[in-house]
Amino acid sequence: MDKSCIKADGLWRKVVRLKNGGRCIMCPQPVDEAHHLISCSHKAHRHNPQNGVPLCLECHGYAHANPAKFKAWLKLTFPALWRFRQKHQHDIEHHPDYQVACERLQGILDGAEAKDG
């Protein structure tokens, strides 16, 4: 795998874990994981922060073990996230620019740190 893709993966996880005040969207536990709404195998949105939700370890396991139930819950609880998923799940990006993704994600993290600092 491309080194810049691996770097972008790590930056994406950091950005997504900052969402919801660092709390799991399914329960009040601190976030451990970043979950892709559209599979990371779909390169078009692999590093799009809108394509991720923060989950604790237990809820992330639940989302993978019960994808139909998780999707039904998401549709009811977070309709905007559901609409994003439905709208973009078939988008295609054959050759994403991972360096651009890294720069965009780092900018988001830098902005978040500036707010906290």
Report residues of the chain scoring pLDDT below 70: 1, 117
The pLDDT value recorded for residue 113 is 78
The pLDDT value recorded for residue 117 is 63
Buried b (16+ CB within 10 A) or exposed e, 73-83: bbeeeeeebbe
* Domain residue limits, the chain: 3-101
Question: Whose CA is closest to 78, among 56, 47, 51?
Answer: 51
The pLDDT value recorded for residue 57 is 97
The pLDDT value recorded for residue 94 is 76
- The 8-class DSSP code of residue 116 comes to H
